[in-house]
Amino acid sequence: MRDFVQQAHRLVGVMLRDGHRNRQGKITGVDQSRDTPAVYVAWTGQARCERVTLSIEELRTLVSAYLETHDRRPVDQAEPETSPEPSSRRRAGMR
């Protein structure tokens, strides 16, 4: 049975810095479906994303560091957006 890291999906869109190679990029995906977890990173100046493998502990540490500096509430419990228009004037669905 595999060990999954909860909240790992929150890393998508986060900027990542690689000090060893002096580069930075944006995390575009998280893969926990294989034996070794990985993040997909779109490094600045590269045309394709790179699959960067991590240990479970490294992924857990990365998620913990993110959650310590950002809102820890689950996305579905975030404050609702306020709209200046009354709800009867808001549009819903497709045009």
Q: What is the pLDDT of residues 35-89, one digit of tens each?
A: 999 999 999 999 999 999 999 999 999 999 999 988 655 544 444 444 455 545 5
- Residue 78: its pLDDT value, please? 46
Domain boundaries, the chain: 8-70
- Residue 2: its pLDDT value, please? 64
Distance CA 49, CA 9 (A): 17
pLDDT band, residue 32 (cuts 50/70/90):
very high
**Mind giving me the DSSP string for 15-35?**
EEEETTTTEEEEEEEEE-SSS
**Mind giving me the DSSP string for 39-64?**
EEEEETT-SS-EEEE--HHHHHHHHH
Could you report the per-residue pLDDT of 73-84, keeping only the tens digit for each? 554 444 444 445
Distance CA 29, CA 23 (A): 18
CA 54 to chain centre: 15
